Amino acid sequence: MEILEKLTKHQENFSQIKLNQLFAKDINRAERYTIQYEDIFFDFSKNFIVQDTLNLLSEYAEKVNLKTMIEQMFQGEKINFTENRAVLHTALRNFSKNPIYVDGLDVMPQIIAVREQMKNFVQQVYSGEWCGATGEKFTDIVNIGIGGSHLGPAMATRALSVYNYTGLKVHYVSNIDGEDINEVLSKVNPATTLFIIASKTFTTLETMKNAYTAKDWFLKKFARRESDVAKHFIALSTNEKSCQEFGINPQNMFAFWDWVGGRYSIWSAIGLSTALAIGWDNFKEMLLGAYEIDRHFRSAPFQKNIPVISAFIDFWYRRFWKFPSKAIIPYSHYLAMFPEFLQQLEMESNGKSVNRISEKIYYKTGQVIWGEVGTNSQHSFFQLLHQGTDIIPVDFIGFINPNFKINGHHDWLMSNMFAQAEALMIGKSEEEVREELINSKISSFDIDKLLPHKVFDGNRPSNTMLFNKLTPHTLGKLIAIYEHKVFVEGVLLQINSFDQWGVELGKQLSKKIFNDISTDFDANSHDSSTNLLINYYKNNKKN
């Protein structure tokens, strides 16, 4: 029997088993299905998994050459085959002093040079050596980017805001909606504001529209001469010609490479805004944290490997249980943007319907990723998690020690996290509910009427990941775990996790529609619905 058939049969048999039964049968289950690595405690015992499951998934991973694929990624082979590119975000946090080759060239000297350039720039901004046209120190940084040039740095800056010791304010603009950039520009002083334009090609529509709006605002509000632009605008880009045309000095460009995917680019110069927010030493700690996970991921056996086990579970649930989505619930106020960051990382990577040999796929791939911080989420969508008709696995992320210890708040926070994971698994039986209702002196008629509404089926799986404290080093580890999990899941699904052709069509059509909106003639070259919408918009907008 083929391994996929074995997994299918295994799931069919497993679907009759309850999580409670697994714990009752194996008193050591919690310890058996837990991995501890450094300060990470990963409990995956509340899942539809037994040793046979892990053995079958490990066997399948060997069949699809997971170990080989991992090595190919770290060694710079072009595993992003649809774009003929290496996938080397891991090289950006490589501190081993070993060379890494792409097309026969060791890329580490370039990476180290950009790191040094970033470090020097951060120090110059802090000291005032790099300042605005009036000689005043910068008080505000505005990062203009979108996608990976926005989500990663914005998430990390928010997550590590307690490490901003200088008071330098870092703002993020991404949306082409003019209200986004207007909101930021209304808060800052042009004389003390530095703009970072984050676009590899310097052609991304949203980024460049916002960049030119910022430049026009700067020239109108402050600049005495066009050359002042060079003191207030820098670029994270490889397009020197376009940067110069914009007014940016080539010396104020920070390079990154086509083997850095946007959603993996926080480790590159794209992370400069975060480095300015938290300081270079802290940014380096982020890199080192990710590097520690790289070493764990590359060397640990599959069944003791946190990213691999996490990917096994997601693959198991999506391919064989057909669970449609997954919730990410960080129990940290500072990780409010983490679910949003993972939406891009996971769904842009594994939302594919063609396999590695260019054939249409007829099984389930990428999950819908969503979430919110606890305990806020408990008072919004947890009702659906507990009693909805879909089973939605959950990742709980918590920290043993808070950044601020205030009057028992943290113990209550963590009590809620542990309680939600337990409640999802154990539920509440009809017998338990009936006893509660009888004790509450409700009439038998009302008991029968109310009872079904208060029953929790339970049997809903989750992972719990505990860290010591949310620090730059820890955040680096956390991001890297999910990066590698996404890659492993892509290998198991037999897809390319590193392209994103699905974002292109809408971009192309938007340019055509913009031209239609810009003319005096009615649109007639689209489907009837789109023509109607365009023409209704044109006829009713105020010029």
Q: 82: how many CB neighbours lie within 10 A of its CB? A: 13
Residue pointed to by tokens 């086509």:
258
Catalytic residue at 200?
no
Cα distances (Å, whole numbers) of residue 26 to 19, 35, 49, 149, 250: 11, 17, 12, 47, 64
507 labelled catalytic: yes
DSSP 233: E
In Å, how far are 274, 472, 518 from 152, measured between CA atoms? 9, 13, 34
Task: Check: CB of residue 319 under 8 Å from CB of residue 363.
Answer: yes
- CA-nearest of 347, 302, 309 to 328 is 347
- As a whole number of Å, the CA-based R_g of the chain is 26
Which is catalytic among the residues 206, 285, 292, 348? 348
30: left (phi over 0), alpha (psi -120 to 50) or beta: alpha
Question: What DSSP character marks residue 469?
Answer: -
CA nearest neighbour of 458 among 488, 421, 428, 495: 428
Please tell me whether residue 249 adopts helix, strand or coil conformation: coil
What's the token pair of residue 254? 């920070």
Q: Which of 193, 313, 178, 196 is nearest to 246 (CA)?
A: 196
- The one-letter amino acid code at 255 reads A
DSSP secondary-structure letter at 520?
A: S
Structure tokens at 91: 């090289």
Is residue 111 within 8 A of residue 287, CB to CB? The reply is no
183 is catalytic: no
Asked whether the beta carbons of 319 and 510 are under 8 A apart, the reply is no
Query: Is residue 233 a contact partner of residue 82, using CB atoms and an 8 Å limit?
Result: no
- Tell me how far apart the alpha carbons of residues 249 and 413 are, in angstroms, rounded to a whole number: 49
Residue tagged active-site, from 187, 304, 405, 507: 507
- 341, 152 Cβ separation under 8 angstroms: yes
Q: Are 307 and 488 in contact (CB under 8 A)?
A: yes
* ∠ CA 250-254-260, rounded to 5°: 135
Q: Which of 187, 379, 449, 512 is catalytic?
A: 379
The helix/strand/coil state of 375 is coil
Residues with a known catalytic role: 348, 379, 507
